[in-house]
Amino acid sequence: MNAVLRAEGLGKRYGRRFALEDCTLEVPGGHVVGLVGPNGAGKSTLLNLAVGMLEPTVGTIEVLGGAPASSPAQLAKVGYVAQDTPTYPHLSVGDHLELGARLNPAWDADLARRRIERLGLPLDQRARKLSGGQRAQLALTLGIAKRPELLILDEPVASLDPLARREFLQDLMEAVAEHELSVILSSHLVSDLERTCDYLVVLVDSRVRLAGEMDDIVGTHVRLSGPRDAGHPGELVTARHTDVQSTYVVRYRGPIADPSWTVGQLSLEDIVLAYMERRPEPARRALEAVR
């Protein structure tokens, strides 16, 4: 399947500061992609560029082979649920469905009604009287019933309790299986991403630090402990040292045969945190800020 998102040297600058910088990324189709990174890393900026709400300062971005928001056909192919799952407070649930039908050429009215019924959302309830979780579900329903090829969700579960979060993600997985859509989903909750996603992008300090299939990422990162300053195999992610021992997180393919290393497995969360820790030097960041 073709790339759902392709970025080349993509950057977005506000004033002197890049919110996203030097982003070169190719996300293959048919995946549920998790986008993770600390606050202010540039996740929403990347997603807003992907849906055409922002214009790049430098570089290019293509979504499903076209420029974001470049035509009605392109708009119809991409569903977007922004952060805080915005709905119209004074419109009822039913009004939202009608609006969805009017605005989207491929609107699946049956799917929308069935989902809303199953969720038990009264059609005459105004959005402002729904709970945060119910609003998130309404926004997801609008996104799915549009029948997009790609659904982009910016922190959709942030306001949900653990049970509602799990139900929301299960619903999303069902929609993915039934309608063959690709999804890009940002979240701070690595455990949710681990359960839901099969592809991961880690953004830190406005840059993509890691991107790839989830299984490959988990299968190729290890923690190595051994004598201090012994050269480590593979690509270094982080290093810690005591007087006598060094501990490295490295990316390495293949078995570690050297018996001087103790090899520890890493969870996805360990790996993501290691990449978040590996930040540019403060001096370099200051330089970047005034460039």
120's tokens: 């038990």
Q: CA–CA separation, 138 vs 179, rounded Å? A: 18
Please identify, using beta-carbon distances, which residue of 41 and 157 lies nearer to ligand ATP.
41
92's tokens: 């009822």
Binding site residues, ligand ATP, CB under 6 A? 14, 19, 37, 39-45
Sheet holding 245-251, edge to edge: 235-241, 245-251, 221-227, 262-265
By C-alpha distance, which of 168, 217, 162, 185 is closest to 36? 185
Q: Beta 182-186 vs 150-154: how paired, if at all?
A: parallel
Least separation in angstroms between residue 197's CB and ligand ATP is: 17
Q: Strand pairing partners for 7?
A: 25, 61
Q: Which residue is nearest to ligand ATP (CB)?
A: 19
177: Cα separation from own chain's centroid = 19
Least separation in angstroms between residue 131's CB and ligand ATP is: 21
Least separation in angstroms between residue 39's CB and ligand ATP is: 3
Least separation in angstroms between residue 115's CB and ligand ATP is: 27
| Amino acid, res. 92 | S
Least separation in angstroms between residue 35's CB and ligand ATP is: 8
Please identify, using beta-carbon distances, which residue of 97 and 160 lies nearer to ligand ATP.
160
